[in-house]
Structure formats: C-alpha cells, structure tokens
Amino acid sequence: MRKSESDFEVTLLIGTDEAGYGPNLGPLLISATAWRVPDDDTDTDLYVRLHRVVRADASSTSHIPIADSKQLYKPGGGLRNLERGVFAALSTCAASVDRWRDAWLVLASADIKQWQRVPWYSDYDTALPIDLDEELRGTDRSLFTEGLPAANVSLAQIRSTAVFPARFNELVDRYDSKGSVLSLATLELVRNALEQHDDTNVLIQCDKHGGRNRYLAVLQTVFPDERVKILREGRAASVYRWVTPSRQIEIRFVAKGESFLPAALASMTSKYLRELAMKAFNAFWRQHLPSLKPTAGYPVDAKRFKAEIEAVQQKLGIEDRVFWRSR
C-alpha cells in the first residue's frame, strides 16, 4: 500500500563526493554518507542542527571540522583536519579503525580484491590516525557520540568505493568517458545506501560531475525500474525525483555541493582514503629509489614521476595499466 505524505516520520539525507578525478596516478575515490533526522523536512541544515558539534572550518578545537576537503587539507599540510572529521564519524561504527588496512576494510570492503592484487598495497600497513593525537581523538569521539543524539541526528552510514587504475582503465574503455565512470560509480554507491535504509523520505545531494547538467540517462541506467522526473536542469543545480510505494526520493547535482554537510563528510572521507593510498604508493617506489620525490599523482608531476621510475618498473615487470590512468 502506497504511503501518504503524512505517514513519513524519518528523513534520510545522503551526500556524495569524490577525490582523485583528475590525477593520472592513484585511485578515484567516491564516498557517501547517510544521516537520519526525525523530521519530514528534507531541507534540514545539519550545520544548524549540529552547531554545538561541528563547524565548516577548522577554527575551533571544541568543534569538529566537517567541510569540503579542499578547505581542510593542503598538500604537505598534514592530515589532522581530515582525520578529526573522519575518525569522529567512524566512532559511530562498531568496527575498530587503528590501521591502514582497517580503514579500507571498514569503508571500502567491496574493493579489497582490487588493492590486494597490487604490490604497493598488498603488503602495506601503518598505524592510524597519522597526525591526530589520541587525546583530541577521544575528545572528538565524545563530542560526536554525545552531540548527535542530543540534536536528534544519527549517522546511518559512511561508505566509499575506490576505482583503482586497472579498473578505472577498464571502465573508461567500456564507456569511453571518465565522466560516465564517475557518475555510474557514484550512483551505485547511492543505490547501495538506499537498499540499506527503507521507509524514509530521502534527499540526496551530489557535487556536479565534471560540470555536466543532464543526469536523467545515467539515473535511469542505475534505477531502471523507477519513473524519474526532471524537476530542473541547469548550471547551478539539476534536480530529479521519483516515488516508490514506501518513499519519495529526490536527488540534486549541485555546483559546490559540499556545502551540504553529508556531502562535505563524503569529500573528507574520499580525500583521506586517497591520501592513504598515495602514501602506500609512494612508499613502495621509494623502497627502490630512496631519493625519489613523492607525487600526489596530478598530470604534470605524474609524468615526472613515471619517467623516474621507468627503469625500476621495467625491472619489476609492472605494466602501465596497473598504475597509470588512461584519462
């Protein structure tokens, strides 16, 4: 029986974002976080509701920073700000995350086989967090686990998917577009979250994918049984909606979508996992070339890095497709 609008009692807010769309080296990371609020108000601003707990910057040690990862992390600046938000969020999970491998098992377990086959990940491990001290980690944990219930908010899920280079190249060959790879992987993660959580009105917000404005075709690919309605499509936002027997779902692709707290935490999680992946990658090659300058994997420096490892790469018999992204 189809529920009436007045029957809905819980709203699920889902935000997604990526890290590593542009580089030639390292994985593309996409994350989704899902939050419950006891309203039928899909425009709930979690920054307002959680104003005693979080801030959209790192200006206060008595608030947990949750913001676009570009605001919280600069190359060479350390991972502390990212770790504060990510580890506070992970404190709501039953699993313990104290090692590099734990982070992947908890956040991106579906992708384990990808990194287990790659030499720079298969034997790598290190203690986590890297730059966050235990005292502040404990303070943040208490603030988060006590502050969310007090605000009638719960973090229902935090999950990531990692598209490592070999898989990335395979998918780009299949779809002839890295934009399609990003959109499909993001919406598969959204579908997984929807399957995990029933009987709710849902608002999903994603950052725009490569500036594109039209998403109906990819939505219908991932949700073929739903009658997706276009509410609007434009430069600022593209908005779609569909209704099932148990809920109404609205998805928005928004320029600077990280202003939505669930998407901001997704941005931080994606960036953090990508940085962990690059730490392992750089550590492997520096074992063979100790003076090698680490890389973040972006195009200009990636070419420098690839040229410098070429002799070792050939000696080890490592094919380009394993680590070099075609687009």
Higher per-residue pLDDT: 135 or 44: 135
**Mean pLDDT, all residues of the chain:** 92
pLDDT tens, 168-187? 999 999 998 899 999 999 99
- The pLDDT, as a whole number, for residue 34 is 96
Mean pLDDT confidence for 194-215: 88
Task: Find the range with the poorest average confidence among 1-5, 188-192, 279-283.
Answer: 1-5
Look up residue 87 and give its two tokens: 């580890």
> What is the arithmetic mean of pLDDT over 137-147?
95
Mean pLDDT, to the nearest integer, of 96-116?
91
* Burial class of residue 277, CB neighbours in 10 A (0-12, 13-18, 19+): buried
pLDDT of residue 40: 66
- Give CATH for domain 5-323: 3.30.420.10
**1 pLDDT exceeds 60?**
no
Domain boundaries, the chain: 5-323
Give tens-digit pLDDT for 43-86: 689 999 999 999 999 988 899 999 999 999 988 889 999 999 99
Mean pLDDT of 211-240: 95
Phi, psi of 13 (to 5 degrees): -110, 120
Which pLDDT value is given to residue 143? 96
Q: What is the pLDDT of residue 38?
A: 84
